[in-house]
Amino acid sequence: MNNRLLFILVLLGLAALWYFAGRHDRSYRAAADRPNDPWVFRSVLDKQARMITFALDDHLWVAYSTDSCSLYKAWEGGVDFTGAVYNMRHGPQPMSIGNAWFENAYRQPWTVTHNGKTETPRADYKGHRYTRDGHAEIMYDLVLSDGQRIRVNERPEYVERDRQRGFERTFTIENAPEGVEVSLHTNVASIADPVNIETDGAWKQEAVESLPTDDDLRAVTTKGELTLRSGKPTRFAAMFVHKALIPNPFDAERRVEEQENAVVSPGERLMAKSDCRTCHNPQVQTVGPGYVQIAERYKNTPENVEMLSEKVIKGGSGAWGVADMSAHPD
């Protein structure tokens, strides 16, 4: 009888595990709709270190600096994952692709007002987290001059309404003293009119300027100050025109690089994609011999090409000193 009861309890336990596991999986189902896996990641981006990127939608990627905890930009396109970690190319680093909806103009965007005094707090990055409803948040503390910390949890998200694309930021603050006002200075571009900014916080618009376009599209850029609600989440959203309007300067650099790569030899392209430059310099010996030194020692014959290829594949030492050359079987 006891064995039968134990068996039933085990079955009930397994059924409960299966049920809650299914609920857990469904809560993260939204991640499958993101344009990159992982859809939140740390990297160098656009020659800036310590960035965190949220791949929210094919039409909206956003990145933040973890040094200042400020938004870097929101753009349409993606990321060119170039670098040793991604495709074994040494030297280049990930770069954004495509025009920006807007680029943030405020490196230190936060102010805190208490008892009539306003200060610019120091921002301290505290990481990011995925939420059970399929979103993600960046977390940071605003550190006041007296050492007190106010936690800000910011949830960036892509929104769409009547086929109009938008960027939504939801802020939740914790540990704010009574009577404290937390404000964010920000700018927005690629919107048709300031009325395309939506918020339940206190938005003080400071300036509006026309945004130059290459067609009849009317768009503006605006900046202002958003004061967050105390004790409640604050929503701030911008609904954009049909295309991102801020040119990406790195796209031009990428096109030049692609044109240069089109005329280089297959050997140069192969070396650029490998780790050759870690130990070899074109002209002088570093860890290993320079390319010119190798060319001067070995004539360009089929036999030497075969011999040197085998040496690169298998590795070895002795010909140029005591340093070992690692094997490169790939």
How far is 170 from 222, CA to CA, in rounded Å?
19
Is residue 251 left, alpha or beta, with left meaning phi > 0 and alpha meaning psi from -120 to 50? Answer: alpha
How far is 279 from 252, CA to CA, in rounded Å?
30
Same domain (yes/no): 19, 75: no
CA distances from 258 to 92, 186, 255, 261, 276 (A): 13, 35, 5, 5, 20
Going residue by residue through the chain, which has 330 residues, state the pLDDT in tens, using 9 for 90 and above: 566 666 666 666 666 665 554 444 333 335 668 999 999 999 999 999 999 999 999 999 999 999 999 999 999 999 998 765 555 555 568 999 999 999 999 999 999 999 899 999 999 999 999 999 999 999 999 999 999 999 999 999 999 999 999 999 999 999 999 999 999 999 999 999 999 999 999 999 999 999 988 888 999 999 999 999 988 999 999 999 999 999 999 887 766 665 555 555 666 666 655 667 677 777 777 778 888 888 888 888 988 888 888 888 888 777 777 777 888 776
Same domain (yes/no): 28, 49: no
Same domain (yes/no): 140, 220: yes
Buried b (16+ CB within 10 A) or exposed e, 31-51: eeebbbeebbbebebbeeeeb
Asked if 282 and 267 touch (Cβ cutoff 8 Å), the reply is no
Query: How many domains does one find in the chain?
Result: 3
SS3 166: strand
Residue 80 lies in a domain: yes
At 324, which CATH number?
1.10.760.10
Residue 54 lies in a domain: yes
Same domain (yes/no): 139, 62: yes
Same domain (yes/no): 196, 104: yes
Residue 270 lies in a domain: no
Same domain (yes/no): 231, 311: no
At 138, which CATH number?
2.70.98
Same domain (yes/no): 13, 60: no
SS3 12: helix
Residue 253 lies in a domain: no
How far is 94 from 91, CA to CA, in rounded Å?
10
Same domain (yes/no): 19, 52: no
Residue 133 lies in a domain: yes
Residue 265 lies in a domain: no
Same domain (yes/no): 9, 121: no
Same domain (yes/no): 22, 47: no
Range of the domain at 310: 277-330
Residue 17 lies in a domain: yes
How far is 206 from 286, CA to CA, in rounded Å?
56
Same domain (yes/no): 27, 59: no
Same domain (yes/no): 184, 311: no
